[in-house]
Chains A and B, each alone.
Chain A
Amino acid sequence: MKLNVLAAFSLLAVFSATSFAQQKAASKTAAPPREAFPLWPNGAPGALGTADKDIPTLTPYFASAAKATGAAVVICPGGGYGGLAPHEGSHYAMFLNEQGITGFVLKYRLGSGGYHHPAMMNDVNRAIRYVRANAEKWKLDPQRIGVMGSSAGGHLASTAITHFDAGDANASDPIDKVSSRPDLGILCYPVITMGELTHSGSKKNLLGENPDPKLVELLSNEKQVTKDTPPTFIFHTFADAGVKVENALMFAGALRKNGVPFSLHIYPNGPHGIGLGGAQWNPEARHPWTTQLAVWLKELGFAK
């Protein structure tokens, strides 16, 4: 355990050093992607092996020093808990960088890799703790760490904003000492419920065949909202044929009942998986939801 902590610290030292070097160098464009790092240096809890699929990681995209606000967002790409779509990961990080926000793309464990709940939740909770525990070193604000997710990644993000804890003060791992509560949530055409209106592929990958009704209830996140759920931004389209818009409406209803402020943007048109506007990176062809998100991030002090 001693050794783990030491290893983690030396790893962090390397990262923060390269981070500063890079922030100095990159002034014109958003920082290019840097190396992904594992969330647990000695293997994730419940890991089934040591292959790539067994190692949850974060890929950091630091905002340029000239623009950086100190805020950060952990990004959960979609893919029905069976894959991870790049345009809902790295593209979001680059978009956030434009707003001065650092993005961390989470590679979480998947149903296709033999994993079910709680592996994914453990990964996202750990990711928030990881960024928070290292915030100071990375010139980030530990009180402005959000979570963002699309489609099934939106389910994982909605899990993160409804299933968190304050951390374990007695833990030996310094990362486990800090809170896993995100300071805001961004949900894009999210799967929310595991009930009747769920996305069945995501449900199967997350919970397996014939899940216990208690587990279905626990991960129907519209039922898990409390007054401590952080402010949330939700985007969905009426025409979404992959994940029904009811998911967004139900979550907004639950936020409202619990007095949690939210921004909700439903557009009539647009296919599931639209991302920032399309699968290809194209700042000229952004969907209007992105401007609404930028306004909201500014309002919350995450963006300049």
Chain B
Amino acid sequence: MGEANFSDAGFLRRLKERDRVAWAELADAYLPQLLRAARGMGFTIEESQDLAQSVFAALIEGIGRFEGRSHIRTFLFGIFYNKVAEYLREKQRAEENDPIDEVMESKFDLQGKWRQPPLDIEMEIIARQMVERCLETVPRSQRIAFHLRAVSEMDTTEICNKMQITPTNLGVLLFRARNYLRECLERMGLKRG
């Protein structure tokens, strides 16, 4: 069944009647995307499974109120982003200071000139091989922000709206995520000589 048919009134009725086949089709269509997004944001396999299930559970609860004015995918991902935003809200308070800020400060002299400039390494190649390993050094909230920007390719305004954070906040998350990653990849490149 193609995605377009999900907007069909008959399909929506089947969902509301808790038709198992219709729900299985919906899960087949969107679970892979949902789990992929959650994994990309740095949630563990178990957390991603729980997250995807809680999104579907909320959809099962809320389908009665869904009138089909937007696409069901939009509705589903709306629930997902709300849950991620909720997670960020709880998480962020604890992370006012981050070690990467000091690392970055130490890279410049008092005039703001590079003291330790970026090394001339083959970042394209290193990044392709090591990015997953280096992503593990990036705190989760920063990873979420960076994923939404670089992989989901949302613009900054959209991310701020969906995640309920200020542009300043998003800027801090992106600054830290990128610099953690770049630092790690640089170290990896150095090791390989």
State whether these chains interact.
no
Chain A residues at the B interface, C-beta cutoff of 8 Å: none
Chain B residues at the A interface, C-beta cutoff of 8 Å: none
